[in-house]
Homo-oligomer: A and B are copies of this chain.
Amino acid sequence: MLSAVKRFLIGRPLKSAALGEQKLNKLKALAILSSDALSSVAYGTEQILLVLVTVSTVAFWYSLPIAVGVLFLLTALILSYRQIIFSYPHGGGAYVVSKENLGVNAGLIAGGSLLVDYILTVAVSVSAGTDAITSAFPKLHDHTILIAIILVIFITLLNLRGVTESASILAYPVYLFVIALFVLIGVGGFKILTGQVSPELHPTLGTPVAGITLFLLLRAFASGCSALTGVEAISNAIPNFKDPAPNNAAKTLILMGSLLAILFSGITFLAYYYGIKPSPTETVVSQIANQTFGRNVMYYFIQGTTALILVLAANTGYSAFPLLAYNLAKDKYIPRMFTMRGDRLGYSNGILTLGVASIILIIAFKGETEQLIPLYAVGVFIPFTLSQSGMIVKWFREKPKGWGYKFIINFVGALISFTVMMIFFITKFTQVWSVLLFLPIIVYCFHRINRHYESVGEQLRLKAGEPAVLIEGNVIIVPVAGITQVVENSINYAKSLTDQVIAVYVSFDREDEKLFEQKWKSWQPDVRLVTLHSHYRSIIQPLTKFIDTVEHKAAESNYWVTVLIPQFIPKKSWHNILHNQSSILIRAFLLYKRKVVVATVPYHFQK
């Protein structure tokens, strides 16, 4: 039954050999790996204007030089990540780069903050998309959390079905959004060029603004940089690309960068030229679309695709998180289960963990995840800085041909990323201080897990020269509760393995004890019976005491002790409550507290 539901939801299992078919071509990869970055266009410009409006609307002209700064950082990041793709073609992105060049802790900080970041991405973007939906249909407003959870479950299932399948479905909305924005920018630009828009709506470039400070401009710049979250996703997900994976990944990255640059500058310019003010009731993109088209079908098309891409931005996390988790698990910093491919060849444990964690976040923040956005931006710029610093060290250490140029690119990237990160910490400390608390905790956990795995590996390793455990014989202890078929089976089985069989009977009552001893003698005269009297009506206590005694003696002559326990397997599961099943308790107790082998003889009831 359960497996039928599973099959319906995520499809039939795929053979390992089908892995190649699960790879992405450039167009599909662009769709699912860039949705996070592209969706930032929907709010990046607005973030800049929201800071500038605190001074005056005249200051809006600063949005243009700030956008140039963001574009400059974008270029540096794209070029820099392109170099990372070719240097680390097996993926892993910031984690691998930092670990290899800056040391384990740097890698773990980068990996840890990205792991958390992808969870935040999913929670934040699904909540944002849900808000867009409930704004359109106010009746749904009471069910915001439920809708967000359903969306997360939907995206999780889609990803469990496999990368290609989710890419095929998710590519449409992404490209529709890109087309919609291109049309918007094109028509808007055409109207400006043909003079249909009054040039008096916007302040002249270079107008002096009273009260503007460097701090404020830096803050606006940092806010604008939130449009750059998500550009690292491709470098994490190289193994998902069709061969030659690094080349395809690099081309996809450049394509994504170009789209992002065009859309971001277009929207920023239109916002400036139209003189748009950020409003709590209408987004900047909506205002631009409204002024360009009025409330016609094109306007709703832009709004609809924007809502969709906000939800789908979550999907980037689903592509990058499981691969990052795989890399961390392979290095034994997180549980090994993240290295296992599921039925549909995705790393399903990573996908499920991401889904569950973001649902928990959505519930904890009651769907109001806006307060998490600064946290999430910081969580991206930490690995940006680390990975590019790592590349600097790499170039300096290896000094390949023409390294100077590569060095400069990563140096500039590292410098700006670091600056943005510091601006975040300085200007939004009250919102991001928790990063400084939980990153060390995460890294500590990574190390604890790693230490455990290493110590287990050490304990399991065969030591050359050490003599193997010597087993000269076996004693089998059979706890018996009566004279039944089950006991007969168990005794016969034990006798077929060794001569040293001891039946043990725990009695609560002296008379019953004597009676049982007599019955046993006439039934199994050649099997030794030991009766234990239990004063406190416990079976485990006298039994373990007896087993300890036997074990002690057996150890002297290198005998191993096995306890044979019958277990009833009822035909219907409700029957389980009708049987004490003390055998299950006894087994667990013996395994965890003693070092004896416990063999379970199943007895299947016929009805």
Q: Which residues of A contact B (CB under 8 A)?
A: 13-17, 335-337, 340-343, 449, 452-453, 455-456, 459-462, 468-469, 471-474, 482-486, 488-489, 492-493, 495-498, 508-509, 534-538, 560, 562, 567-570, 575, 577-580, 587, 591-592, 595-602, 604-607
Contact = CB atoms under 8 A, between A and B. Distances in A.
Contacts of A598: 599-600, 602
Contacts of A595: 602, 604
A17 B591 contact: no
A213 B536 CA distance: 62
Instruction: Rank and list the top 8 A-B pairs by shortest CB-CB distance, nearest first.
Output: A599-B599, A460-B484, A471-B496, A15-B535, A13-B536, A591-B602, A497-B497, A335-B578
Contacts of A495: 471
A526 to B, nearest CB: 13
Given A335-B577, A336-B579, 20 more contacts: A15-B535, A16-B508, A336-B580, A343-B536, A449-B578, A459-B605, A459-B607, A462-B488, A469-B492, A471-B492, A471-B496, A497-B497, A569-B591, A569-B592, A587-B600, A596-B602, A597-B600, A597-B602, A599-B599, A600-B600
Copies of this chain: 2
A341 to B, nearest CB: 6
Residue with the greatest number of chain B CB neighbours at <10 A, chosen from A471, A495, A538: A471
Contact of A16 (B496, B535, B606, B607): B535
A569 to B, nearest CB: 6
A510 to B, nearest CB: 10
Nearest to A577: B335
Contact of A17 (B483, B535, B580): B535
A469 B489 contact: yes
Given A462-B483, A493-B560, A595-B602, A452 B575 contact: yes
B336 A578 contact: yes
Contacts of A482: 460
A459 B489 CA distance: 13
B509 A16 contact: yes
A512 B575 CA distance: 44
Contact of A474 (B342, B455, B496, B577): B496
A537 B591 contact: no
A462 B485 contact: yes
Contacts of A341: 537
A459 B606 contact: yes
Contact of A591 (B472, B484, B567): B567
A600 B607 contact: no
A14 B343 CA distance: 54
Nearest to A471: B496
A488 B535 CA distance: 41
Nearest to A481: B460
B497 A537 contact: no
Contact of A601 (B342, B343, B459, B597): B597
A449 B469 CA distance: 49
Contacts of A492: 468-469, 471
Nearest to A508: B16
Contacts of A462: 483-485, 488
A452 B17 CA distance: 49
Nearest to A457: B484
A536 to B, nearest CB: 5
A450 B235 CA distance: 65
A456 B579 CA distance: 10
A459 B474 contact: no
A324 to B, nearest CB: 18
A361 B461 CA distance: 57
A485 B461 contact: yes
